[in-house]
A and B are shown apart, each in its own frame.
Chain A
Amino acid sequence: DAGVIQSPRHEVTEMGQEVTLRCKPISGHDYLFWYRQTMMRGLELLIYFNNNVPIDDSGMPEDRFSAKMPNASFSTLKIQPSEPRDSAVYFCASTFRGYETQYFGPGTRLLVL
C-alpha cells in the first residue's frame, strides 16, 4: 500500500490567498484526521471524519478553516483567507474502526508570507 498521501508537500503563499491541502487515506480506512504541528503548540487535532462525515471539528481554529471529505479516498483542508500565523506543518492520518493506531502522511509544510 502507498500509505497516506498528501499534496502538496510544500506550499508558500501570500497573506490573504486561499490555500487547499489534499489527503488520500489508506484504502479501506474509514477514519481520517487532520492535525497541525507548530513549534509553539505542538501537534493539535483539527478535525476528524468517520465514513466521510465530520465527527469532531472542535479543533478547527476559526471560520477561515474548512474541511471536506467528498468520498472515502479524498479529503481537503482549506484556509481562506490565509494568515502568517497559519504557517505550520499539516498532517493527515487515517485508521479503521477498532484499530487505534493512526497512519500519518508525510505532511504539508505551509508558509504564509
Chain B
Amino acid sequence: GDSVTQMEGPVTLSEEAFLTINCTYTATGYPSLFWYVQYPGEGLQLLLKATKADDKGSNKGFEATYRKETTSFHLEKGSVQVSDSAVYFCALTNSGGGADGLTFGKGTHLIIQP
C-alpha cells in the first residue's frame, strides 16, 4: 500500500535558520502530495500541495517540489520564525482527482528558538 516517510524530530533551529524537512513516499500511479501543519491543541491545516510531477507548492515562505524521480516532497523555508514552531505532516492521496483518505507520515516536531 501507499506510505509516507518523514524525519520525526524534534528538529530544533534558531530563528532565521534555513529549514529542510525530508519526505519520501511510496505509491502507485500519480498521487497528489501535501504538507499539513498542526499547531498545539489545534487540528491540521493545509500548508501547501502539489498535484503532479515538478509542481512546486508554496505558502507563507514554505516551498516543496514534487520530485517523481526521487519520490520526494521535501519542505523548505529560507528563514524560520518562532511562530513556525509546530508539527508538520507530509501526506499523499491517490484519488485521481476524486477524494480519498490521506496517508500521512508520522509528523516532524519543529521547535524554533529565539
Closest residue of chain A to B98 (Cβ to Cβ) is A97
Instruction: Find out whether the CB atom of B43 lies under 8 angstroms from the CB atom of A4.
Output: yes
Instruction: Find out whether the CB atom of B49 lies under 8 angstroms from the CB atom of A100.
Output: yes
- CB neighbours of B32 from chain A (8 A): 100
Report the minimal beta-carbon distance from A46 to chain B, rounded to whole angstroms: 9
Instruction: Find out whether the CB atom of B98 lies under 8 angstroms from the CB atom of A104.
Output: no
Chain B positions near chain A (C-beta within 8 angstroms):
32, 34, 36, 41-46, 49, 51, 89, 93, 95, 97-107
Closest residue of chain B to A105 (Cβ to Cβ) is B43
Closest residue of chain A to B89 (Cβ to Cβ) is A43
Given the interface contacts A4-B43, A101-B46, does A50 sit within 8 Å of B99 by beta carbon? yes
Report the minimal beta-carbon distance from A97 to chain B, rounded to whole angstroms: 6
A-B contact pairs, 12 of them (CB 8 A): A33-B101, A45-B102, A97-B98, A100-B51, A100-B95, A100-B97, A101-B49, A102-B46, A102-B102, A103-B46, A106-B42, A107-B43
Is A56's CB within 8 Å of the partner chain B?
A: yes
Given the interface contacts A42-B106, A43-B104, does A99 sit within 8 Å of B45 by beta carbon? no
- CB neighbours of B106 from chain A (8 A): 42
- Contact partner of A96 (CB less than 8 A), chosen from B93, B97, B99, B100, is B99
- CB neighbours of A43 from chain B (8 A): 89, 102, 104, 107
Instruction: Find out whether the CB atom of B101 lies under 8 angstroms from the CB atom of A48.
Output: yes
Closest residue of chain A to B32 (Cβ to Cβ) is A100
Instruction: Find out whether the CB atom of A91 lies under 8 angstroms from the CB atom of B101.
Output: no
Instruction: Find out whether the CB atom of A106 lies under 8 angstroms from the CB atom of B43.
Output: yes
Considering only residues 52-104 of chain A, those with a C-beta below 8 Å from chain B are 56, 59, 91, 93, 95-104
- Contact partner of B34 (CB less than 8 A), chosen from A98, A99, A101, is A101
* Distance, CA A13 to CA B98, complexed state (A): 38
